[in-house]
Amino acid sequence: MATDVPAPGSSRTLDLPCEIASVTEARIALLGALEEQGADGRLTSDAATVFSELLINAMLHGNPDEDGLVHGSWTVSPDPAGHRVVLTVRDAGGFGTPHVEPADEDASAGRGLRIVEAMCESWSVDVTDGTEVTAELTTRSAVPLPR
């Protein structure tokens, strides 16, 4: 029985209603794309966590565009060590530039970008036109799964 082998690399953009429930849809779509590309389980898990954190931040701290949407996208490409995943989340801008908050063990929030920073090879913010956060992960940067 022949099986379809996915072409190396894939990209997709999702236009999501600015509702926390949309994060689940985006996460499922990303997991499917990474599975189709044969990405390592650690990378897949980390990318899904980072994408979720970025989307939740955009929905809680940013503003949707004029259509009530935030935009999430990814590109998966081959990398010498396995795969490279670039995640981008864009909203219409918010209340300042996203940044890592100082650690506060008693706080019930404020850990999202600390998680992103720990899991990614790199991440950046562009506030030229709204707020766009881009995060890059590779098989090398994936956090080892606990045994």
On whether residue 8 sits in a domain, the answer given is no
Q: Is pLDDT above 70 for 56?
A: yes
On whether residue 54 sits in a domain, the answer given is yes
Q: Is pLDDT above 90 for 114?
A: no
**pLDDT (average), residues 33-59:** 93
On whether residue 5 sits in a domain, the answer given is no
On whether residue 89 sits in a domain, the answer given is yes
Tell me which amino acid residue 80 is: P
On whether residue 146 sits in a domain, the answer given is no
CATH number at residue 87: 3.30.565.10
Which residue shows structure tokens 């701290």? 61
Distance of CA 107 to CAs 14, 102, 111, 133, Å?
A: 31, 11, 9, 23
On whether residue 44 sits in a domain, the answer given is yes
On whether residue 2 sits in a domain, the answer given is no
On whether residue 24 sits in a domain, the answer given is yes
3 pLDDT band, cuts 50/70/90, is very low
Residue 103, pLDDT score: 61
**Residue 55 · residue 29 · CB < 8 Å:** no
The conformation of residue 62, written as its DSSP 8-state character, comes to: B
Q: How many domains does the chain have?
A: 1
**pLDDT (average), residues 20-43:** 93
132 pLDDT band, cuts 50/70/90, is very high
Task: For the chain, give the mean pLDDT.
Answer: 84
Look up the domain containing 114 and give its range: 15-98+110-141
